[in-house]
Homo-oligomer: A and B are copies of this chain.
């Protein structure tokens, strides 16, 4: 089995929200399909253990904001890379409320869906929820953003450190400095007799 095959599945990205007994939370998911018609139903998959699916299981309702091309990494970070158990993700963030009071994004999203859970299947790592769409709105004319675009364009690339040039080695015990890019394996500090493994690189600049 080649796990790279899974990278060829295409996904959009949504902010998924739910609320139960005064606790409201949202998270980022990349799994949302229309599963049926008459009435329209969506299928979404959520990681078990996260707060939002826990709220959905209790309340039986969720709302999706379909993220569009204008979405910022800050928004994805806010909803996707921290836990609602530690912070109120909606604090100071502009949202609108659907008819059940669930938040959806006031910007950076091009569509919203208010859903009522009709089926849920616990799949161990995830729960799959089927939700009947009770409201759907177009929010902007921006095209939706794909998960691949998020990775290629929105997610910051890890800053690779510029390769540093080694110009010498310094004994970490007594501070003797050896000049040269490569320290001979059998080198010993002439001051304290410690071996090469006790030397640290000295970089240029």
Contacts and interface: CB of A to CB of B under 8 A. Distances in A.
Interface string A118-146: 01010111101010011111100001101
B146 A111 contact: no
B43 A43 contact: yes
A75 interface: no
> Which among A1, A3, A133 has the highest number of chain B CB atoms within 10 Å?
A1
Interface in A1-25: 1-6, 8-12
A96 interface: no
Contact of A35 (B68, B111, B126, B133): B126
Contact of A12 (B9, B121, B123): B9
B45 A32 contact: no
Contacts of A137: 1-2, 5
A191 B127 CA distance: 75
Interface residues of A, number: 47
A135 B1 contact: yes
B35 A31 contact: yes
Contacts of A2: 136-138
A117 B14 CA distance: 27
Contacts of A144: 8-10
Given A130-B128, A146-B146, A6 B34 contact: yes
Interface of A: 1-6, 8-12, 31-38, 40-41, 43, 45, 66, 68, 110-113, 119, 121, 123-126, 128, 130, 133-138, 143-144, 146, 148
Q: Which 7 A-B pairs have the closest CB atoms?
A: A10-B12, A36-B123, A5-B136, A8-B111, A5-B111, A31-B33, A36-B126
